């Protein structure tokens, strides 16, 4: 029986690392990317380019611009600058409310249609930037809801959930993809490929993780293997 998985794929460091790992674990890996009118729209083109380069079985780009209409965030409004300042509710202004609820729901529906039994997402509780929809409890709740709602087993797999950014870089290196992840992915909230703008929270996490890994390769790889 052919094993199939869907990767929620943004073209960023985390989802690309998950995709590269999934290609070694499943017979067919399909990508799904969401166009929600995000500030860093280049990520869609980068995801498409990487999907072709890495050999996805298929790659679906879905228009979910309705999310942009409903969710007010610095990632959905050009007139709201990306900021380190927390909003009144204690969350970063880059948080897009409902984004992962919608993404995992649609990915689950797509998995049902093509007969995939796993949806892989690069969310992480260790370096989750304060986003409530990147926590393990949320993912487990979504997995239960999708399984019950479609009466079909579906696993939501989170390979990075308990990894810090240094360990995520180590995972990329384990699959000989360190240079590709460093140079060809887009993680920056301001839409700059590779090393990014260097000042947004996403760039800071990425840079600090890479520096930690490169300075302590052996120790970080050992930590990774123990998880």
Q: Which residues are annotated as a binding site?
A: 9-19, 188, 197, 200, 203
* Host H or E run for residue 50: helix 42-54
CB 199 within 8 A of CB 187: no
Binding-site residues for ATP sit at 9-19
Q: What's the CA gap between 120 and 104, in Å, rounded?
A: 9
Spatial distance between the Cα atoms of 19 and 174, rounded to a whole number of angstroms: 13
CA distance linking residue 23 with residue 9, whole number of Å:
13
DSSP H or E segment with residue 4: strand 4-8
CA pair distance 72, 166, nearest whole angstrom: 31
Name the nearest CA neighbour of 107 among 117, 93, 95: 117
Burial of 52 (0-12, 13-18, 19+ CB in 10 A): exposed
8 A C-beta contact, residue 7 and residue 112? no
Cβ contacts of residue 214 below 8 Å, gap of 6+? 169
- Which amino acids are annotated as binding site for Zn(2+), given as ranges? 188, 197, 200, 203
Q: Could you list the beta-strand ranges (E) of 22-136.
A: 28-35, 58-63, 118-120
């Amino acid at each position: 029986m052919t094993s199939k998985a869907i990767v929620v794929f943004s073209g960023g460091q985390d989802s690309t690392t998950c995709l590269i790992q999934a290609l070694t674990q499943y017979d067919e890996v399909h990508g799904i990317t969401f166009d929600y009118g995000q500030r860093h729209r280049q990520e869609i083109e980068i995801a498409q380019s990487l999907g072709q380069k890495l050999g996805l079985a298929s790659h679906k780009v879905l228009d979910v611009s309705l999310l942009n209409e409903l969710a007010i965030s610095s990632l959905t409004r050009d007139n709201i600058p990306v900021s380190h300042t927390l909003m009144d509710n204690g969350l970063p202004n880059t948080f897009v409310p409902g984004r992962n609820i919608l993404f995992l729901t649609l990915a689950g529906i797509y998995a049902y249609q093509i007969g995939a039994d796993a949806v892989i997402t690069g969310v992480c509780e260790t370096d989750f930037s304060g986003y409530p929809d990147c926590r393990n409890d949320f993912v487990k709740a979504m997995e239960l809801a999708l399984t019950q709602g479609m009466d079909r087993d579906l696993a939501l797999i989170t390979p990075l959930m308990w990894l810090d950014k240094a360990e995520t870089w180590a995972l990329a290196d384990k699959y000989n993809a360190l240079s590709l992840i460093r140079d060809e992915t887009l993680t920056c909230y301001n839409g700059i490929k590779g090393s990014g703008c260097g000042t947004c929270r996403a760039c800071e996490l990425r840079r600090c993780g890479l520096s930690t890994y490169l300075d302590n390769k052996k120790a970080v790889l050992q930590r990774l293997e123990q998880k």
